[in-house]
Amino acid sequence: MLFVVLAGVIWGIGAALKAPPAQRAAGVAALWAAFVLGALALPAESALRAATGASPAPWLLLGAAVALVMAYRAGMARLRRRIAAAAPAVAAPRLALSDAELDRYARHIVLREVGGTGQKALKSARVLVVGAGGLGSPALLYLAASGVGTLGVIDDDSVAASNLQRQIIHTDDRIGMAKVRSAAIAIRALNPFVTVRPYERRLTADIAADLFADYDVILDGSDNFATRYLVNAAAIAAGKPLVSGALTQWEGQISLFHPVRGGPCYRCVFPEAPAPGLAPSCAEAGVIAPLPGVIGAMMALEAVKAITGAGEGLRGQMLIYDGLWGETRRIAVARRADCPDCGAIDHLA
């Protein structure tokens, strides 16, 4: 009875001081430890030992029971997190597939990890690609070929001759055309079942929130840090998974950022933009032609996995590909509690 009263006092004082439940629980645990020590260390004839229980056995049993309950709760929370992490990042309604689509996507449908359910999820999904350049070109083509129902693409640039060395969605006869319109022509020619939404403008903070809210997955193929940070912040605010890729010369990198599912965001990994000259653009440093295709195709694959729930995505991992030496490596990346973009966001329990 004495323990119950003192524990209630500790909990009440903690609540009044607005202490976190974990700190209040720690206070009650310290009280329990004091009762156990009293039952073990005090003389048998001590009145205080009698008041705290003559034997430590009941207190140890109580501690064991509480520990079992806490272990069960922790195990269930861990299981819920694993289920949430394994579930598709996109929960879209499943649209029916026509006979022509069943034939078109037959190689997907026979895959156990995709099947008809995954193909319907792809048809129902909406993916936004930021940038119709080196990374956006292969990503858009493979997303269209995969059967993503709605593809948005935003870019304010026009096709130039120097783009054609690597930006395979564009053609020589479309030089001077807006990149998003050139991309739309190629996507519609490849797959008439895909709805294309071209946005011929630069992504800015005043439109990002409304634009991202209409899509399930965001792919960032931009070529500058200002846009990458803007895309990151907008994707976090919208709660959408972000597939981000970057490249230079012979090397590319890709990761999936989704803080609400426990992973880091782009700014967790790159807190600040590098000093001028340390990360030159492709125009300054050059880039080998097939490299954007390699990384852009990987970005499309990560988006397909996020939509269908197939396999394991690159959340919490960064894949780095060195095309010059044919090496691929993965490094773990983690959230930063002090991240200004996602530090205050709780992930799914």
Judge whether residue 152 has pLDDT over 70. yes
Judge whether residue 327 has pLDDT over 90. yes
How far are the Cα atoms of 69, 231, 271 from residue 338, in angstroms, in the given order? 32, 19, 10
DSSP lists the bridge partners of residue 151 as 127, 196
Q: Yes or no: say if 217 and 127 are a contact pair by the CB < 8 Å rule.
A: yes
In terms of pTM, does the model score above 0.85?
no
Average pLDDT of the chain, as a whole number = 87
* Per-residue pLDDT, 93: 60
By the 10 Å C-beta count (0-12 exposed, 13-18 middle, 19+ buried), 16 is classed as: exposed
* Per-residue pLDDT, 56: 67
Judge whether residue 53 has pLDDT over 50. yes
Q: Yes or no: say if 126 and 100 are a contact pair by the CB < 8 Å rule.
A: no
Mean pLDDT confidence for 174-199: 98
Q: Which domains does the chain have, with CATH numbers?
A: 2-86 (no CATH), 99-332 (3.40.50.720)
Distance CA 81, CA 215 (A): 24
Model confidence over 91-135: pLDDT tens digits?
556 678 999 999 999 999 999 999 999 999 999 999 999 999 999
* Per-residue pLDDT, 190: 98
Extract the tokens encoding 283: 């125009």
Mean pLDDT confidence for 226-243: 95
Mean pLDDT confidence for 268-277: 86
Distance CA 142, CA 146 (A): 6
Mean pLDDT confidence for 223-250: 95
How far are the Cα atoms of 266, 306, 308 from residue 96, in angstroms, in the given order? 36, 20, 15
How far are the Cα atoms of 35, 74, 289 from residue 221, in angstroms, in the given order? 61, 39, 16
* Per-residue pLDDT, 54: 60
**238-255 b/e with 16+ CB inside 10 Å = b?**
bebbbbbbbbbeebbbbb
* Per-residue pLDDT, 349: 38
Distance CA 239, CA 189 (A): 32
Alpha helices in 125-262 (DSSP H): 136-146, 179-190, 205-213, 225-238
Q: Yes or no: say if 259 and 347 are a contact pair by the CB < 8 Å rule.
A: yes
Distance CA 38, CA 52 (A): 7
Model confidence over 32-41: pLDDT tens digits?
677 667 666 6
Alpha helices in the chain (DSSP H): 2-16, 21-41, 47-52, 57-86, 99-104, 106-109, 115-124, 136-146, 179-190, 205-213, 225-238, 266-269, 282-285, 290-308
- Enter the DSSP assignment of 249: B
What backbone torsions phi and psi does residue 270 show, to the nearest 5 degrees?
-125, 80
Judge whether residue 52 has pLDDT over 80. no
